[in-house]
Amino acid sequence: MTPLARWARAEWGLLYATVRGPLAKRRLRAVPMSVAAVCLTALLQFVQNQSWGYRFVQDVGSVRAADPLWTALRRTPLSLFVPALDLPVWGALAQILVVFGIAEVCLGWWRTLTVAYVATLAGTLYARAGIALGPRHPLGLPASDAWVVDTGPSAAVVGLAVVLGWRYGAYATVGVVAAAMVAEVVLKDNLAGKEHLAAIASVLALGATVVAGRRLDRRRRQRRPGSRAGSGRSGLPPIQS
């Protein structure tokens, strides 16, 4: 085995082993939520490119920092599946199918949607905070960004990729994803790149909170009368559901 193959096995072997069985046995039936997400994204892309449908999609799923907060929160769940008009939709569909699909197998559909929503919501809220801070602040944004539509599926995809990499020991992949987002901010200095960084920060904070909660719960159980120290589970793979 070559050094590159050994590295790839160490980096992605556990993730591959987790995903391979369900996908080989059931194929797309193993990821029904992800298939539905791809279909919904394709449908919204088609509708928003029609003269009669653009305003409808904007009203139900496009989020801007200029929108009232409650309007933005109401639109945020659907905004996960509204692709950017200026980017190829096939890229978004492929990202959703692959990343959402892997996450659905590994984490279950509801955890996948939770992480995706947290990542997207973090970007939405960051845009508001950044504009309030102003362009002179290191984390601030210019007022013109208030009218830029939020990232759509990309923040959710980035967040899920980081969670999967962290959980399954693909730390180099997590580093590459984070570095790519930093490079996007440095080279383009756009709202989308900064929202992606906010998404990464939010899912890492969510993951750290979950891990801390499990450790605290394990310690409490070990302190109960009759409990045996060390009987708790480690917490890594399986989470499939």
User: Could you report the per-residue pLDDT of 101-155, keeping only the tens digit for each?
Assistant: 999 999 999 999 999 999 999 999 999 999 999 988 888 899 999 998 887 889 9
pTM of the model: 0.86
* Structural domain contains residue 232: no
Residue 43 pLDDT:
95
Number of domains into which the chain is organized: 1
Q: Domain residues for 26?
A: 3-223
Average pLDDT value over all residues in the chain: 88
Q: How far apart are CA 175 and CA 29, in angstroms?
A: 31
Long-range contacts, stretch 131-140, CB < 8 angstroms, 24+ apart: 131/65
> What is the 8-class DSSP label of residue 82?
-
Q: How far apart are CA 154 and CA 191, in angstroms?
A: 12
Residue 190 pLDDT:
84
Q: For residue 158, which of 138, 137, 139, 173 has the smallest C-alpha distance?
A: 173
* Structural domain contains residue 56: yes
* Structural domain contains residue 120: yes
Q: Which amino acid is at 107?
A: L
* Structural domain contains residue 229: no
* Residue 11: CATH number of its domain: 1.20.1540
Q: For residue 75, which of 56, 92, 90 has the smallest C-alpha distance?
A: 56
* Structural domain contains residue 119: yes
Tokens at 29, concatenated: 């039936």
Determine the angle formed by the axes of helices 191-223 and 109-133, rounding to 10 degrees.
130
* Structural domain contains residue 153: yes
pLDDT tens track for 32-73? 999 999 999 999 999 999 989 999 999 999 999 999 999 999
